[in-house]
Amino acid sequence: MIRFISAAVSALTLAAAPAVAQTTRPQAPVTPPQTSATPASSPTPGSEAWLRLRGESYSVAPEAEQDPAEVAATVRLNAEIAARNEAAERLETEENAAWEAEQARWRAETARIETQRAQWEADTAAAEAARLRYERERAAWEAAAAACRRASGGCIVGPAPKY
């Protein structure tokens, strides 16, 4: 009994939790903050003043202030990145061409197999038609031969059909 009650209370608590979490409690009215006579203007995000407040600067140093070793290292790194990007693009182009060639080979092979299957079906239908024709002709011959045997005078029946 105690287990049932605790299980029921737990289930009700879990079921009611989302509803309780979504209700808002009454709050005291918020008074606007006192403003000074001159409004403090904040810089626009992304502007130079905004970047400076954060200690960032993205302006290029004059040529005279740039370190030649750092410039050479940057140029070398940029060239390496460009070469890797070109190699990756070349590899992607080659892989796409290989994939397209394989797709074309697969489509040709599928078409060849479908043609063979259609030919097999046609050959099978022709063989079945020939078998049925033979069975009809054989049954007709056997009926004619049986009729001759029953007849008082002998009659001549041709040979059994052969295929």
- What pLDDT does residue 45 have? 83
- What pLDDT does residue 87 have? 97
- What pLDDT does residue 33 have? 58
- What pLDDT does residue 83 have? 97
Which pLDDT tens digit goes with each residue over 51-68? 778 877 666 677 788 888
Q: Which DSSP state fits 65?
A: G
Distance CA 163, CA 160 (A): 10
- Measured over the CA atoms of residue 120, residue 121, residue 124 and residue 130, the dihedral's sign is negative
Distance CA 4, CA 10 (A): 10
- What pLDDT does residue 145 have? 85
pTM metric for this prediction: 0.42
- What pLDDT does residue 152 have? 66
- What pLDDT does residue 163 have? 60
Whether residue 149 contacts residue 157, with contact meaning beta carbons closer than 8 Å, is answered with no
- What pLDDT does residue 10 have? 75
- What pLDDT does residue 24 have? 59
- What pLDDT does residue 123 have? 97
Distance CA 15, CA 21 (A): 11
Give average pLDDT by consecutive 10-residue segment, the chain, 163 residues: 72 69 62 55 81 74 83 94 97 97 98 97 97 94 86 69 66
